[in-house]
């Protein structure tokens, strides 16, 4: 990989994509980033990244804008397709199925068609662990691996925004892997779980909001849900690893730890005792076993969970005032 290699990152101003962009710039890549409005101040952090003034170029394009995507991807040898709609409340009842499915499916097709047109060599598509874990037929005692795929009908029956998001990610990843069978470029998918960590962007992303609600909302009760989690910086490293390793192929689950809400609250209380934690935790019958062994065999490593939590909370509290109890 020469230092003049040019790659594209879709949705460059987002939580994960910002860290991917930062990492790529630090490694000497020239980066084309797509954004709905490159001049919007919410993308201002990208222009402050090290090497951005020389090696970052932002292009106006969204996932429905094929010509805009073609312009951004032209001249690139690789593409990181990160852009995606994410639900702000995983339990809320969905109102519009198209909110997630249309951008995910049509967006993936547009990006991959633009990659084919530009003769891109390698594409890393960011999917989600949501495209893995919604599978009621998977053996309960067997950790979910890359062979496990979410059942679209099961996703639909959830009747929540998160179920709809998982359906969209499942359909989009299936589409990407079908493209991989029949054409160049080489396409790899990576499925991160709940992504926590410090933010480069100014707006708070949905997964960090889940974490911060435990700190600040003083909820009467919260269900003791089980969450596979991963640090945003480790996700960026995983995506670059999948891009750089010649032997990488297929799909990769990207997750570090599985923790329930009760254990997460206990950790937060130990680190930050004076915030407004949930008053009661309700037990639910839920267990998730999931493994990132395939990604680790590729050479991926992840940081301690406490480091992720501390960096996420400290970063958040610098940007948003949280009342203590």
Which is nearest to 62 in space by CA: 119, 97, 13, 7?
Answer: 13
- Of the CA atoms within 13 Å of residue 137, those in its CB half-sphere come to 9
d(CA 252, CA 300): 11
Residue 48 burial (CB < 10 Å; 0-12/13-18/19+)? exposed
If DSSP codes are grouped into helix, strand and coil, which group holds residue 282? strand
Active site residue 289: no
Please say whether the beta carbons of 17 and 87 come within 8 A.
Answer: no
Which is nearest to 254 in space by CA: 125, 155, 112?
Answer: 125
Among the options 169, 269, 279, 301, which is catalytic?
169
Give the distance from CA 169 to its chain's centroid.
11
191: phi then psi, degrees, rounded to nearest 5: -115, 90
- Between β-strands 226-231 and 257-260, what pairing exists: parallel, antiparallel or unpaired? antiparallel
Residues identified as active-site: 169
């Amino acid at each position: 990989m020469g230092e003049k290699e040019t790659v594209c990152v879709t949705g460059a101003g987002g939580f994960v994509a910002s860290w991917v962009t930062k990492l790529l710039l630090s490694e000497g890549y020239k980066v084309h980033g797509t954004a709905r409005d490159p001049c919007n101040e919410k993308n201002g952090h990208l222009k402050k990244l090290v090497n951005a003034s020389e090696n970052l170029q932002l292009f106006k394009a969204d996932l429905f804008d094929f010509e805009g995507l073609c312009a951004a991807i032209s001249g690139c040898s690789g593409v990181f397709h990160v852009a995606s709609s994410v639900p702000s409340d995983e339990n809320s009842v969905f109102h519009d199925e198209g909110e997630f499915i249309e951008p995910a499916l049509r967006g993936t097709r547009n990006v991959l068609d633009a990659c084919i047109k530009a003769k891109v060599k390698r594409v890393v598509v960011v999917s989600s662990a949501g495209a893995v874990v919604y599978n009621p037929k998977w053996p309960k005692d067997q950790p979910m691996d890359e062979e496990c795929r979410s059942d679209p009908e099961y996703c639909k029956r959830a009747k929540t925004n998160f179920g709809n998001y998982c359906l969209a990610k499942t359909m989009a990843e299936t589409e990407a892997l079908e493209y991989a069978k029949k054409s160049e470029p080489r396409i790899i998918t990576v499925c991160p779980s709940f992504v926590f960590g410090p933010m480069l962007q100014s707006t708070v992303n949905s997964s960090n909001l889940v974490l911060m609600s435990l700190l600040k909302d003083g909820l009467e009760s919260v269900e003791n849900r089980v969450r596979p989690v991963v640090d945003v910086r480790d996700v960026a490293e995983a995506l670059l690893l999948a891009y750089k390793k010649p032997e990488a192929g297929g799909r990769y689950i990207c997750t570090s730890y599985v923790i329930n809400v009760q254990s997460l609250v206990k950790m937060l209380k130990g680190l930050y005792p004076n915030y407004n934690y949930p008053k009661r935790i309700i037990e639910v019958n839920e267990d998730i076993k999931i493994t990132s062994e395939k990604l680790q065999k590729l050479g991926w490593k992840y940081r301690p969970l406490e480091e992720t939590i501390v960096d996420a909370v400290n970063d958040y509290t610098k940007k948003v005032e949280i009342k203590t109890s």
